[in-house]
């Protein structure tokens, strides 16, 4: 359904003016007003109730006809109709006066052509159900339904052009609730244009003008057209020229200026300019959807669709064909007789009413001064000009001067605002520019605001930051303070002589745009109404804070901003690196003013002074929610359904929460699996999943959260999807989302990272495990645990050699075997890369990977993986072409193709033997539990054969 536009215009005829022109327009009326009684006939009626039918959705289309059926036209052609009541409520007969025939319906169904013109009023099927559109309350918009029905139904067959609206389209039927099924029954109306004069005439032919129902007036001080009830010269207009080309003059602007603009463009202001440069306009008939009638609009003659329009409380252009039917383009012209003292009388009564209201309010008196208010009242009361335009204008200027003196007295005043509902709180601006009610035991310079006053409004600037108070278009969101100021007006509340409300003048619905302290959202100052005493009324106190006081308060803000980061400076994750910044250096200068200091505060908060350390390749880490309540766990959801295999959350750190970052992807150290953000069927958007072995993990990108530089965003996928896919964790959720609606403003996207430098490796029941140390990472092994490498020393035999000191390699991963106490953890500690005493890792047959991959690091023939059976550990042969499991060592041989397993023998010496187990014969060698080969066995003894533990029979 197309957007409906509304337009409103009323025209008042000017009696006795022959130069006026009149057009015929149409306005909708309820059917009951135009229907003749049931007993009436065509012969007994006249044209006093004749009507035309008009489309409500497409008001440029009227109903016309051929000799046999009805159709719609948009070329100005329209038939005249007469409506007769019947014995049944809401059922009517329709007579086409133009064709002298009645209109009957052909079928009680949705059809291409539903009407037929007949001569006989009593033909069958000639009654139509006419009811309010969609059974609503607006009697000016109706549905015309076929089939002899007695009540409205959504799917009832209603007049509707077949195939949609178009010139000369036949009227068929379609569902009554369709937008194109709505119609108007209209009567003719006279639209009388205002009189146009050949030349500017100061004595007569003046009109007041309203646009969007608001009176237009000239603001002399601002030289612009705005909306005001001001009478007299500022609100009087004259139209010089003809209907098809005229200029618009304002009496207060004089005969040397007319309305115009530099360009005819959307939202371009229309102002009084030199008459020779002013635009010419054309008066056209538009349409008023609000009242369902035709009306006047004004278009620039230099464009086809540049209409004068009300945009944000000013007269401007809307260059759009829709403007012709928009309520904001509608003018009302009312003839006026010029009264030379009208403006004075209005200004005097308005000023005295305002001043007397101010005189009774303690907070307003604090702003403007009680003596100053009384003096202005006395001066304005004494004005009594002669009844001529010159004296009237002089008296108006005196009133203006008195009010400007009051505003000047308020300019620069330092005030503190307290909401008496919360008497221990003062309004202030926090570091992030939010207007807040701050708890305090005493008033300080940090609570001071500086006033700027003029006729239009008050502006508030926070003294210690230089930030100007703005407004909010939404409710329950903190009002911000920054570089531009909103305009506020003082508003008194009945029964309250002590406090005042600050009402923003820059938004629609300004009565709901007052400064309000909201305890429900941390005492932020938000937009709300001020209809009674409460959190929207303020006690104003004038203070004498010195420039030194204010500068010290500004420095305190800088120190507060520094304290957010300075205590966490370091090289680890969740710590900050301090970087050079000129704005910050300037703020620290002894000669810095408030503006320079606040620029330094902003630099800190924008991450330009302290930068959160991002993860580097080779780091182990944990991911936490913003509040630190939940850790991301690689233990996947096991329940069947759309959540199966999703990343879960846990409340404490464990092995499942440890990740390794290789610079591109994240891998769970315990599981060896990667992560991805995927949209699965049946799930509402993207979720974060543990990917299975063999599936390529998704890229991970870390960034500092833009709106809060103390936290991270973790983006998952490719660069083009970073704005829609990222880890999303709430403190109360058991799962990890992959946000499809990425909003940095949501705390769920702001995450903590916990750097891990001690890796716990479970040794299991055999006291043996393997691990892979990433390239560039150096690690030491905890006391009580030994690390080993495997080297080839001869045909069919390998050896385990202990590694002492720091283990690692700058260029490749180092795979190791760890041996310690069963069912305990070995601790591997990340060490600095330049430590001395590095272990000799040469000749190591163990290999491994630290990142999940579906395409690289796969097993080959002759590869063995570490297995544990009870208290025994051994290397067992693996299948080929299987992706390595990250952080698990693989023994790669080239000569032991027929060996199914290697048993391990950890002796006291640094070198222990691993002998191959030949499974190609029945007489495979046998080893005792210490790893020594034996030639004779004892019945009941426990031995190792073919890599398996046996009991000799």
pLDDT tens track for 264-302:
999 999 999 999 999 999 999 999 888 899 999 999 999
Q: What is the pLDDT of residue 640?
A: 80
pLDDT in tens, 353-378: 999 999 999 999 999 999 999 999 99
Mean pLDDT of 745-772: 92
- Identify whether the C-beta of residue 808 lies closer than 8 Å to the C-beta of residue 773: yes
- Among candidate residues 83, 10, 75, 8, the one with its CA nearest the CA of residue 52: 83
- Close Cβ partners of 563 (under 8 Å, ≥ 6 residues apart): none
Q: What is the pLDDT of residue 6?
A: 28
In a 13 Å sphere around the CA of 260, the CA atoms on its Cβ side amount to: 16
Q: Is the pLDDT of residue 39 over 50?
A: yes
pLDDT in tens, 560-616: 999 999 899 999 999 999 999 999 999 999 999 999 999 999 999 999 999 999 999
Q: What is the pLDDT of residue 535?
A: 92
| C-alpha 689: how far from chain center | 28
Q: Is the pLDDT of residue 681 over 70?
A: no
pLDDT in tens, 305-334: 999 999 878 899 999 998 998 888 989 899
Q: What is the pLDDT of residue 67?
A: 95
Neighbour tally for 775: CB within 10 Å: 16
Q: Is the pLDDT of residue 134 over 70?
A: yes
- Among candidate residues 883, 913, 670, 668, the one with its CA nearest the CA of residue 788: 913
Q: What is the pLDDT of residue 159?
A: 97
Neighbour tally for 351: CB within 10 Å: 21
Q: Is the pLDDT of residue 485 over 50?
A: yes
Task: Give the three-class secondary structure for 325.
Answer: helix
- Among candidate residues 353, 387, 388, 393, the one with its CA nearest the CA of residue 373: 353
pLDDT tier for residue 480 given thresholds of 50, 70 and 90? very high
Buried b vs exposed e over 468-498: b needs ≥16 C-beta within 10 Å? bbbbbeeeeebbbbeeebbbbebbbbeebee
Q: Where is average pLDDT lowest: 249-263, 563-577, 786-800?
A: 786-800
Q: How far apart are CA 341 and CA 350, in angstroms?
A: 14
Q: Is the pLDDT of residue 65 over 90?
A: yes
Mean pLDDT of 697-712: 90
Q: What is the pLDDT of residue 676?
A: 87
Task: Considering only residues 705 and 855, tell me which one the structure prediction assigns the higher pLDDT.
Answer: 705
Q: Is the pLDDT of residue 854 over 80?
A: no
Q: How far apart are CA 750 and CA 733, in angstroms?
A: 15
Q: What is the pLDDT of residue 13?
A: 33
Q: Token digits for 625?
A: 């929610």
Average model confidence (pLDDT) across the chain:
88
Give me the long-range contacts of 613-617 (CB less than 8 A, separation at least 24): 613/570, 613/571, 613/572, 613/573, 613/574, 613/575, 613/576, 613/577, 614/702, 614/703, 614/704, 614/712, 615/573, 615/661, 615/702, 615/753, 616/661, 616/663, 617/661, 617/662, 617/663, 617/776
pLDDT above 90 covers what percent of the chain? 67
Burial class (CB in 10 A: 0-12, 13-18, 19+), 442: exposed
Q: How far apart are CA 349 and CA 314, in angstroms?
A: 25
Q: What is the pLDDT of residue 856?
A: 74
Helix (H) or strand (E) holding 218: strand 214-219
In a 13 Å sphere around the CA of 824, the CA atoms on its Cβ side amount to: 12
Q: What is the pLDDT of residue 743?
A: 56
In a 13 Å sphere around the CA of 156, the CA atoms on its Cβ side amount to: 24
pLDDT in tens, 85-99: 999 999 999 999 999
Neighbour tally for 936: CB within 10 Å: 7
Q: What is the pLDDT of residue 926?
A: 66
Task: Give the three-class secondary structure for 115.
Answer: strand
Q: How far apart are CA 74 and CA 166, in angstroms?
A: 8
Q: Is the pLDDT of residue 909 over 50?
A: no
Q: What is the pLDDT of residue 723?
A: 67
pLDDT in tens, 446-471: 999 999 998 778 999 999 999 999 99
Mean pLDDT of 611-625: 96
Q: What is the pLDDT of residue 874?
A: 86
- Identify whether the C-beta of residue 625 lies closer than 8 Å to the C-beta of residue 615: no
Neighbour tally for 404: CB within 10 Å: 14
- What are the residues facing 203 on neighbouring strands? none
What is the chain's alpha carbon radius of gyration, rounded to the nearest angstrom?
43
Mean pLDDT of 655-668: 95
- Among candidate residues 688, 689, 653, 695, the one with its CA nearest the CA of residue 670: 653
pLDDT in tens, 795-813: 445 578 899 889 999 899 9
pLDDT in tens, 118-132: 998 888 888 999 999
Neighbour tally for 949: CB within 10 Å: 15
- Identify whether the C-beta of residue 789 lies closer than 8 Å to the C-beta of residue 843: yes
Mean pLDDT of 399-419: 95
Q: How far apart are CA 427 and CA 684, in angstroms?
A: 42
Q: Where is average pLDDT lowest: 13-17, 202-206, 707-711?
A: 13-17
Q: Where is average pLDDT lowest: 64-68, 809-813, 910-914?
A: 910-914
- Close Cβ partners of 713 (under 8 Å, ≥ 6 residues apart): 702, 703, 704, 705, 706, 726, 744, 749, 750, 751
- What are the residues facing 612 on neighbouring strands? 576
Q: Is the pLDDT of residue 68 over 70?
A: yes
- Identify whether the C-beta of residue 101 lies closer than 8 Å to the C-beta of residue 117: yes
pLDDT in tens, 855-887: 777 888 888 889 988 888 888 888 888 888 999
- DSSP per position, 8-27: ---B---TT-TT--EEEEEE
Buried b vs exposed e over 157-188: b needs ≥16 C-beta within 10 Å? bbbbbbeeeeeebbbbbbbbbbebbbbbbbbe
Q: Strands 619-625, 610-612: parallel, antiparallel or unpaired by DSSP? A: unpaired
| Range picked from 219-233, 816-830, 907-921 for highest mean pLDDT | 816-830
Q: Is the pLDDT of residue 141 over 80?
A: yes
- Among candidate residues 674, 701, 709, 672, the one with its CA nearest the CA of residue 689: 674
Q: Token digits for 297?
A: 């609009």
933-934 sheet: strands from edge to edge: 933-934, 926-927, 942-945, 948-951
Q: What is the pTM of this model?
A: 0.68
Q: 3-state SS of 650-670? A: ECCCCHHHCEEECCCCEEECC
- DSSP per position, 334-384: EEE---TTHHHHHHHHHHHHHHHHHHT-HHHHHHH-HHHHHHHHHHHHT--
């Amino acid at each position: 359904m197309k957007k409906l536009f509304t337009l409103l215009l009323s025209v008042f005829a000017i009696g006795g003016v022959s130069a006026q022109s009149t057009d015929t327009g149409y306005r909708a009326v309820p059917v009951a007003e135009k229907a003749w009684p049931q007993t009436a006939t065509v012969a007994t009626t006249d044209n006093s109730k004749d009507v035309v039918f008009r489309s409500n959705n497409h008001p440029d289309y009227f109903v016309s006809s051929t000799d046999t059926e009805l159709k719609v036209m948009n070329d100005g052609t329209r038939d005249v109709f007469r409506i007769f009541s019947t014995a049944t409520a809401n059922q009517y007969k329709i007579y086409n006066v133009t064709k002298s025939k009645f209109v009957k319906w052909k079928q009680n169904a949705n059809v291409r052509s539903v009407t037929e013109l007949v001569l006989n009023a009593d033909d069958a099927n000639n009654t139509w159900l006419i009811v309010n559109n969609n059974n609503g309350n607006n009697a000016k918009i109706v549905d015309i339904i076929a089939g002899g029905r007695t009540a409205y139904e959504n799917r009832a067959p209603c007049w509707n052009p077949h195939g949609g609206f178009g010139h000369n389209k036949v009227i068929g039927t379609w569902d009554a609730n369709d937008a194109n099924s709505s119609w108007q029954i209209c009567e003719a109306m006279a639209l009388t244009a205002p009189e146009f004069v050949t030349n500017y005439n100061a004595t007569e032919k003046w009109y007041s003008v309203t646009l969007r129902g608001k009176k237009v007036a000239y603001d002399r001080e601002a030289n612009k057209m705005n909306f005001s009830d001001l009478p007299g010269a500022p609100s009087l207009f004259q139209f010089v020229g003809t209907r098809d080309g005229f200029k618009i003059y304002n009496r207060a602007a004089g005969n040397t200026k007319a309305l115009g603009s530099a360009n005819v463009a959307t939202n371009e202001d229309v102002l009084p300019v030199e008459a020779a440069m002013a635009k010419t306009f054309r008066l056209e008939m538009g349409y008023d959807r609000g009242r369902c009638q035709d009306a006047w609009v004004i278009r620039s003659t230099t464009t086809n669709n540049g209409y004068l329009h009300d945009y944000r409380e000013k007269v401007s252009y809307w260059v759009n064909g829709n403007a012709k039917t928009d309520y904001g383009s509608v003018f009302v012209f009312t003839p006026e007789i010029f009264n030379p003292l009208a403006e004075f009388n209005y200004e005097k009564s308005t000023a005295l009413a305002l001043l007397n209201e101010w005189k009774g309010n303690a907070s307003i008196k604090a702003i403007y001064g009680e003596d100053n208010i009384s003096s202005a009242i006395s001066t304005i009361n004494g004005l009594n000009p002669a009844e001529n335009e010159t004296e009237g204008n002089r008296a108006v200027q005196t009133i203006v001067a008195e009010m400007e003196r009051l505003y000047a007295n308020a300019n620069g005043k330092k005030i503190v605002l307290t909401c008496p509902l919360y008497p221990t709180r003062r309004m202030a601006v926090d570091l992030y520019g939010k207007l807040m009610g701050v708890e305090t035991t005493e008033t300080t310079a940090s609570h001071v605001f500086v006033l700027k006053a003029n006729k239009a409004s008050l502006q508030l600037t926070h003294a210690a930051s230089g930030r100007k108070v703005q407004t909010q278009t939404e409710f329950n969101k903190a009002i911000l303070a920054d570089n531009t100021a909103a305009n506020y007006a003082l508003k008194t509340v009945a029964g309250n002589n002590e406090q005042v409300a600050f009402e923003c003048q820059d938004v629609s619905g300004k009565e709901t745009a007052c400064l309000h302290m909201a305890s429900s959202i941390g005492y932020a100052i938000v937009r709300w109404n001020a209809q009674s005493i409460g959190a929207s009324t303020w006690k104003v106190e004038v203070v004498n804070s010195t420039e030194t006081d204010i500068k010290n308060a500004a420095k305190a803000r800088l120190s507060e901003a520094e304290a957010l980061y300075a205590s966490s400076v370091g090289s680890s994750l969740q710590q900050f690196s301090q970087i050079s910044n000129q704005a910050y250096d300037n703020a620290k200068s002894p000669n810095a003013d408030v503006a320079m200091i606040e620029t330094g505060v902003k630099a800190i908060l924008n991450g330009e002074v302290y930068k959160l350390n991002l993860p580097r390749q080779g780091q182990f880490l944990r991911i936490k929610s913003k509040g630190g309540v939940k850790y991301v766990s690689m233990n996947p959801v096991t329940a069947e359904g759309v959540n199966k295999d999703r990343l879960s959350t846990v409340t404490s750190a464990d092995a499942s929460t440890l990740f390794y970052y290789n610079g591109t992807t994240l891998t769970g150290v315990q599981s060896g699996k990667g992560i991805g953000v995927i949209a699965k069927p049946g799930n509402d958007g993207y979720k974060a999943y543990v990917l299975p072995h063999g599936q390529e993990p998704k890229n991970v990108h870390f960034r500092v959260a833009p709106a809060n530089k103390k936290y991270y965003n973790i983006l998952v996928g490719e660069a083009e999807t970073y704005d829609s896919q990222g880890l999303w964790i709430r403190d109360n959720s058991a799962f990890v989302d992959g946000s499809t609606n990425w909003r940095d403003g949501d705390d769920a996207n702001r995450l903590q990272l916990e750097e891990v430098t001690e890796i716990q490796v479970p040794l299991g029941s055999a006291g043996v495990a393997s691990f892979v140390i990433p390239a560039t990472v150096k690690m030491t092994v905890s006391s009580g645990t030994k690390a080993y490498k495997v080297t080839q020393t001869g045909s069919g035999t390998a050896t385990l050699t202990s590694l002492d000191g720091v283990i690692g390699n700058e260029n490749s991963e180092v795979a190791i075997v760890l041996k310690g106490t069963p069912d305990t953890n070995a601790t591997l500690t990340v060490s600095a890369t330049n430590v001395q005493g590095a272990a000799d890792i040469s000749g190591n047959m163990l290999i491994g990977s630290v990142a999940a991959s579906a395409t690289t690091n796969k097993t080959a023939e002759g590869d063995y993986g570490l297995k544990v059976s009870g208290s025994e550990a051994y290397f067992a042969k693996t299948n080929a072409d299987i992706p390595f499991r990250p952080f698990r060592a693989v023994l790669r041989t080239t000569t032991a193709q027929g060996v199914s397993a290697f048993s391990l023998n950890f002796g006291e010496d640094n070198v222990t033997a691993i002998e191959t187990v030949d499974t190609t014969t029945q007489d495979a060698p046998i080893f005792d539990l210490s790893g020594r080969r034996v030639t004779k066995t004892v019945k009941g003894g426990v031995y190792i054969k073919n890599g398996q533990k046996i009991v000799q029979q």
